[in-house]
A and B are shown apart, each in its own frame.
Chain A
Amino acid sequence: MRRLVGVVAWFSAILFFAPVAWMVLTSLHSESDAATNPPSLGAGLTLQGYEEFFGASTGQSPWPPLINSFSASIGSTIIVLLLAIPAAYALSIKKVEKWTDVMFFFLSTKMLPVVAGLLPIYLVAQFTGMLDNISFLVILYTSMNLPIAVWLMRSFLAEVPPEILEAASIDGAGLITTLRRVVAPIAMPGIAATALICFIFSWNELLFARVLTGVVAGTAPVFLTGFVTSQGLFLAKVCAAATVVSLPVLIAGFAAQDKLVQGLSLGAVK
């Protein structure tokens, strides 16, 4: 029985992993080996696909969009944490009145489809001259991730023992000191997980970036939409592009693996 479970489990794992493995393998094949039927699994490996992706023959470098993605994701993640940690403190440790209503307000903003606010946001960007500007994406990604971060951070801060906080307050520690010296060290793994999850969501975002940015502030997913229509032999290049753009998310995701469920379920599942 146990052997059967192992066999079925491994078969499923390989089946689900196969497209990812195929993506990486194809990215390392030459274009002519990538486009064969049946597939040439054992063909020689080359970095041509990556060289092409980094603009070897077209001169079109993916670095500006990659750097834009890093700026937007890291920038918004930092602002999210700066806003979410004090808010979570006011929702878990020193609770405001009606704190559950506040929590549900944050949650309900996640349930409104972003696409419905797209037009006014576009008009505001146009009016203020913020179209194709990475700062505008930072503001939007912050609002997109803030509710998630508040829910997550609250569930982490609720774990801080009140005895320690009492001791800190008896010793005369103020809010900032308490947050920095007492809460932050205990909640550090939670803060790290929250940061990684916010980073992933910002990095993945396409709709806003597609509508609000152009040649200057376009992010990596927007760059990828350039591969939607196929022309000629470019399979290795597409796979190289998909691999490179997914790499930061794969790294962040595996680093946050243990907290991933907690983050995605807004702290409901531990």
Chain B
Amino acid sequence: MSLDTAPPPAKQQRRGTPPAPTGLSAAARWARRAPLLPALIFTIVVTQLPFVATLIISVLRWNSLDPDNRGFAGFDNYVAVFTDPNLRSSIVTTVILTVVVVVVSLILGLGLALLLDQKFFGRGLARTMLIAPFLVVPVAAALLWKHALYNPEYGLFNGALTWLWSLFGAERPPQPEWISDMPLIAVEASLVWQWTPFMMLILLAGLQSRPMDVVEAARIDGATGWQIFRYLTFPHLRQYLELGGLLGSIYIVQNFDAVFTITSGGLGTANLPYTIYQTFYQAHDYGQASAAGVVVVIGSLIIANFALRVVSSLLKDEVK
């Protein structure tokens, strides 16, 4: 297990990877391109054309309930988007939700990865149990948290509080209404539960690719466990932390299932995907929904720009 950042050049030469085919005839170049084209054309048609359409619709006045009144709206939809308090608050919610879930699951994932990197009894089984939350279907996980864990009357959390209080013979255990008392935290907690295993797996792969001879040498030179972590393990893990953080952000920024299921976007938890879904589904204002979509795309492109820069280091050496 290693991060595919820098394959040693010597290995490349020995494996004799053919150089970039610049000196080929036109026919030979097309023969090379042929296997790529179906996938490329399919992706362009299905993923890029809708965005072009979104861009066009975003400058139109178009409400499906009022189909005769269609026309060019200029930037009206964008003005509506930026002055709509619901949409502005959903931008803030999206940022908070993404940052909290990514940071907390990275920290927990790092802790778990450090534990699983040690030898202990039943490590394989513990690893499998830790992966399980990631393999519950997102809607099912959200339903599980909403009904079986958060329910104030018979959910597991309040049930456990009752049980704990009775254990110490105390009366009147606290029985919070988890979802209505702390709606955003309720959504975040369920997502952290699902995404921590993902972070753990990436960081564990990073830990297991550490050059152990260096760690061993440091230990012989009298380095403490903390020093080894601070000066050897952590710098090595940095790129894995970045990768986990970026991939997590890409997936969680787009989260729809948890918000839809646990709070139905209420109580200030509506994030951008949910708000766009709602604008489109309930308000039927196609122009405004598209303008909101364009704003989300621009926001994502800014994140993606950072993400691509990190990932590009993964391919850098093979380009040579």
A residues near B, CB below 8 A? 2, 5-6, 8-10, 12-14, 16-20, 22-23, 26, 34-39, 83-84, 86-87, 89-91, 94-97, 99-100, 102-124, 139-140, 142-143, 146-147, 150, 155, 158, 161-163, 175, 200, 203-204, 206-207, 210-211, 220-221, 224-225, 227-228, 230, 235, 238-239, 241-243, 245-246, 249-250, 253-254, 257, 260-261, 264-270
Q: Are A83 and B20 in contact (CB under 8 A)?
A: no
CB contacts (< 8 Å) of B269 on chain A: these are: none
Distance of A241 Cα from B147 Cα, bound (Å): 12
Structural contact, A16 and B147, CB atoms closer than 8 A: no
Also in contact, A90 and B32, with CB within 8 A (given A17-B130, A146-B43): yes
Task: Check B163 against A38 for contact (C-beta < 8 Å).
Answer: yes
20 further A-B contacts with Cβ under 8 Å, apart from A87-B36, A96-B33, A221-B138, are: A9-B112, A35-B153, A35-B154, A37-B159, A38-B166, A90-B34, A96-B32, A109-B47, A109-B48, A113-B253, A113-B293, A119-B290, A155-B4, A211-B280, A228-B143, A239-B144, A242-B137, A246-B141, A254-B135, A269-B3
Report which of A39, A102, A242, A269 forms a contact with B144, defined as CB distance below 8 A: A242
Q: How far is B149's CA from A235's CA once the two chains are assembled, in angstroms?
A: 11
Residues of B within 8 A of A6 (CB): 120-122
Asked if B311 and A114 sit within 8 Å, CB to CB, the answer is no
Q: Report if A111-B303 is in contact (Cβ < 8 Å); known contacts: A23-B144, A242-B144, A249-B136.
A: yes
Contact of B148 (CB < 8 Å), options: A22, A158, A163, A269: A22
Q: How many A-B residue pairs have CB under 8 A?
A: 345
Chain B positions within 8 Å of A266 at CB level: 247, 311
| Beta-carbon nearest neighbor of B50 in chain A | A117
Do A104 and B36 form a contact, CB below 8 Å, given A142-B42, A211-B281, A250-B132?
no
Q: A12-B130, A97-B20, A269-B206 are in contact. Are A107 and B311 (CB under 8 A)?
A: yes
Asked if A94 meets B149 with Cβ closer than 8 Å, knowing A115-B293, A250-B132, the reply is: no
Among the stretches B74-82, B180-188, B210-218, B294-302, the one at the interface with A is: B294-302
Does the CB pair B29–A97 fall under 8 Å?
Answer: yes
Task: Evaluate whether A257 and B128 lie within 8 angstroms (CB atoms) in the complex, with A109-B43, A207-B277, A241-B140 already known.
Answer: yes
- B93 contacts partner chain A, Cβ-Cβ < 8 Å: no
In the bound complex, CA of A117 to CA of B201 (Å): 31
Shortest CB distance B4–A (Å): 6
Inter-subunit contact B1/A111 (CB<8 Å): no
Which residues on A sit within 8 Å (CB–CB) of B314? 268
Q: How far is the CA of A40 from the CA of B309 in the complex (A)?
A: 52
Within 8 A of A (CB), among B61-119: 111-112, 115-116, 118-119
A87 with B154: CB separation less than 8 A: no
B138 touches A19 (CB 8 A): no
Residues in B whose Cβ lies below 8 Å from that of A221: 137-140, 257
Instruction: Using CB atoms, name the residue of chain B closest to A6.
Output: B120
Cα of A253 to Cα of B123 in the assembled complex, Å: 18
Q: Are B1 and A100 in contact (CB under 8 A)?
A: no
Ranked nearest first, the 7 interchain pairs of A and B with the lowest CB-CB distance are A117-B50, A6-B120, A86-B35, A116-B293, A120-B53, A242-B140, A111-B304
Distance in angstroms between the alpha carbons of A105 and B254 in the assembled complex: 19
Cβ A38 vs Cβ B160 within 8 A? yes
Neighbour of B4 across the interface among A109, A235, A261, A270, CB < 8 A: A270
* CB of B312 closer than 8 Å to a CB of A: yes
Contacts of B204 in A (CB 8 A): 261
CB distance from B320 to the nearest CB of A (A): 11
Residue B126 lies at the interface, judged by CB distance under 8 Å to chain A = yes
In the bound complex, do residue A115 and residue B296 qualify as a contact, i.e. CB atoms below 8 Å apart? Answer: yes
Q: Could you list 11 examples of A-B contacts with CB < 8 Å?
A: A2-B119, A6-B120, A37-B162, A112-B51, A116-B54, A150-B39, A230-B151, A242-B144, A257-B131, A261-B205, A269-B206
Known contacts A5-B120, A203-B137; A117/B47 CB under 8 A: yes
Q: In the complex, are the beta carbons of A2 and B112 less than 8 A apart?
A: no
**Residue in chain A with minimal CB distance to B165:** A38
A238 close to B126 (CB less than 8 A): no
